Amino acid sequence: TAEVRGIDKGSIYNENQGKKVKVVAGREHDGGNGRQLLMQSSPQTTDRFYRGPRPTQTQLNLNSQLLGASPKQIVELVDIWVDVFSPVNVVTALGGLAAHSKGRGLQGKRMAGHLADVLPILYGHIIRYGELYGPHELSSAAFALAKLQCSSGPVWEVLIREACLTANHFRPGEVAKLLRATVVARVDVPNIFDMLNAVTDTMTRRAAELHPHELADCIWAVTKLSKRSDDCIGDPVRSVYDIFTAQALELMPRFTTFDLATVAWSYASAKHDAPTLFAAIAAASVPLINEFQPKGLSMLLWGFASRGVHEEALFAAAGGRVAATIEEYSVQSASMVIWSYAKVGHRHPQVVDRTLRYLACQPEKLGRARAQHLANLLWAAVRLHRREVPDEFLIAVKVEFTERAREFTAAELVMSIWAFAAAGLTEPRLYHAAWQEVMHRKVGSFTASQMSALVWAFASSRRTAPPLFSMVSRHVPQRLEELTT
């Protein structure tokens, strides 16, 4: 206890700086006498940055026991020895628990009870001794917390704070791990954007050191974090995409199919134009099209469509893959695919017809789908095929719409009723459900273009809704400037 708690937390142990350091079995050793080090190494020796004292022999022995231990053994070691744990011990224990978080080791009420006792102890160590955690420990702890589904609280505030203070010492791979963890865990702490801005410099200077999947992770994480609040993002973060582009083009031959999909999705979400990059992604994806999984292929097509990039060879090749494996698709992935084809205007009757007829026979899938995905799927299907959309699909979606109209946002409600009208569906119950929902929300909460689409849908279907038309007629004249010709 004295060895851990009796130290000056702000001190940096650098007595061995300048000596040759080599890596043996994953740990750094002094080249002269083989003593294991836990300290700051000079830039001339290694780029891994340490904070805090050298580990004692007890701590080294503990780490050996924690590595590969079962969850129950980790809980027992933490319970007995936590007072002498070093940051590396804490990270190893968390990593071991996280590795079993979805396995048999953590199932059952008894083990859940053990975790409820031990995790606060480990989190407490990070909170109390965060100043001793270096970039490797910080990124590894964040990764473990994400897998353990810990998304808030003081422990994340400490991790993000210390990452800001040591940002210049992070290795690119550690940056990728930290950023991915904060997104996966949906971390929401005040200083998260300070961390993002701080580590951007490392990504800018050392992007060439990133492995392909690390680069894809960085692009994805930066995009997800940036979308939360553009006001908190600095210019270095906005300009980092140009550096990402150059590196992605170089690593393109080594990207997996999911890396390709992740990069395309991220650039589209960030609304960053990169024609050369998208052309290269398309060229790399076509030969690998049969290796794409549903989620990856839907992300890939959505990325291209969102940026208005119609690579005909890619969409043609993807259609056959989707049609052959549609049973593996969720409604979300299927809606992204069909929406993408509609957005770029690529008519592929086989994929659209196969997808719609399959989903029409899957009421359970449709029942679990979010309203957003149902609306996008319906809109895209009608946009591509108008009145040639299979009747069984329209009926299946109509059932979901009439029963769940309250779940649809204003935009989704309008998209759906417009699509039903354009497809020739005129059933009174459908339009009654729609106008009741509109009246419940007040027409004034809709945009002028949405009101325009609503009255068009009701009129073209010969459905009367006097209260709806009366309300629209009162609001639209005041907002004519919002309407296109």
Give 315-344 pLDDT, tens digit per residue.
Answer: 999 999 999 999 999 999 999 999 999 999
Question: 176 near 144, Cβ under 8 Å?
Answer: no
Question: 429 near 402, Cβ under 8 Å?
Answer: yes
Please tell me whether residues 207 and 269 are part of one structural domain: no
- Domain termination site, one of 361, 376, 404: 361
d(CA 251, CA 34): 37
353 part of a folded domain: yes
Two tokens, residue 262: 């992740």
The residue assigned the tokens 């990059």 is 277
Two tokens, residue 457: 């849908």
Report the number of distinct structural domains present in the chain: 3
Displacement of CA 210 from its chain's centroid (Å): 19
Span 20-58, pLDDT tens digits: 333 333 333 333 333 233 333 333 334 556 677 778 889
Alpha helices in 100-211 (DSSP H): 109-129, 135-147, 154-165, 172-184, 192-206
Residue 93, pLDDT score:
94
Question: 244 near 290, Cβ under 8 Å?
Answer: no
247 part of a folded domain: yes
Span 180-214, pLDDT tens digits: 999 999 988 888 888 888 888 888 888 888 899 99
Please tell me whether residues 336 and 433 are part of one structural domain: no
Please tell me whether residues 297 and 446 are part of one structural domain: no
Please tell me whether residues 249 and 107 are part of one structural domain: yes
439 part of a folded domain: yes
Residue 385, pLDDT score:
85
Is the model's pLDDT at 6 over the cut of 70? Answer: no
- Domain termination site, one of 223, 254, 285: 254
d(CA 126, CA 159): 8
- Burial label, 124 (beta-carbon count in 10 A; 0-12, 13-18, 19+): middle
275 part of a folded domain: yes
Question: 362 near 370, Cβ under 8 Å?
Answer: no
Residue 36, pLDDT score:
32
23 part of a folded domain: no
Is the model's pLDDT at 69 over the cut of 70? Answer: yes
Span 416-446, pLDDT tens digits: 999 999 999 988 889 988 888 888 887 778 8
Residue 23, pLDDT score:
30
Residue 231, pLDDT score:
57
Q: What are phi and psi of 315, to 5 degrees?
A: -70, -35
Please tell me whether residues 249 and 314 are part of one structural domain: no
Please tell me whether residues 233 and 314 are part of one structural domain: no
Please tell me whether residues 108 and 235 are part of one structural domain: yes
Name which of 268, 181, 207 is nearest 260 in CA terms.
268
d(CA 163, CA 171): 12
35 part of a folded domain: no
Name which of 415, 402, 424 is nearest 449 in CA terms.
415
Please tell me whether residues 100 and 232 are part of one structural domain: yes
Please tell me whether residues 245 and 275 are part of one structural domain: no
Average pLDDT in the 296-303 region?
97
Span 137-153, pLDDT tens digits: 999 999 999 998 888 78
Q: How far is CA 330 from CA 184, 298, 325, 337, 346, in A?
A: 21, 10, 11, 11, 22
| pTM, entire model | 0.79
Q: How far is CA 362 from CA 76, 255, 355, in A?
A: 48, 34, 11
Residue 196, pLDDT score:
87
Two tokens, residue 203: 């990504």
Q: What are phi and psi of 187, to 5 degrees?
A: -65, 135
Cβ-defined contacts of 404-408 (< 8 Å, 24+): 404/371, 405/433, 405/434, 405/436, 405/437, 406/437, 407/370, 407/371, 408/371, 408/375, 408/437
Please tell me whether residues 163 and 241 are part of one structural domain: yes
Span 224-240, pLDDT tens digits: 988 876 655 556 576 78
18 part of a folded domain: no
Task: Please report how the helices 109-129 and 87-99 are oriented relative to each other, as an axis angle in degrees rounded to 10.
Answer: 150
Residue 349 host element (H or E): helix 349-360
Residue 337 gets the label, from left (phi > 0), alpha (psi -120 to 50) or beta, of alpha
Is the model's pLDDT at 157 over the cut of 60? Answer: yes
Checking DSSP bridges between strand 21-24 and strand 27-30, what pairing results, if any?
A: antiparallel
Alpha helices in 311-370 (DSSP H): 312-325, 331-344, 349-360, 363-368
Please tell me whether residues 177 and 241 are part of one structural domain: yes
245 part of a folded domain: yes
Please tell me whether residues 181 and 222 are part of one structural domain: yes
Name which of 427, 408, 484 is nearest 453 in CA terms.
484
Residue 23 host element (H or E): strand 21-24
Residue 145, pLDDT score:
93
% of the chain exceeding 70 in pLDDT: 85
Q: What 3-state class would DSSP assign to 395?
A: helix
Mean pLDDT of all residues belonging to the chain = 83
Q: Which residues is 24 bridged to in the sheet?
A: 27
Q: Which residues, in sequence order, are CB contacts of 67 under 8 Å at separation 6+?
A: 92, 96
d(CA 218, CA 385): 39
Range of the domain at 230: 55-254
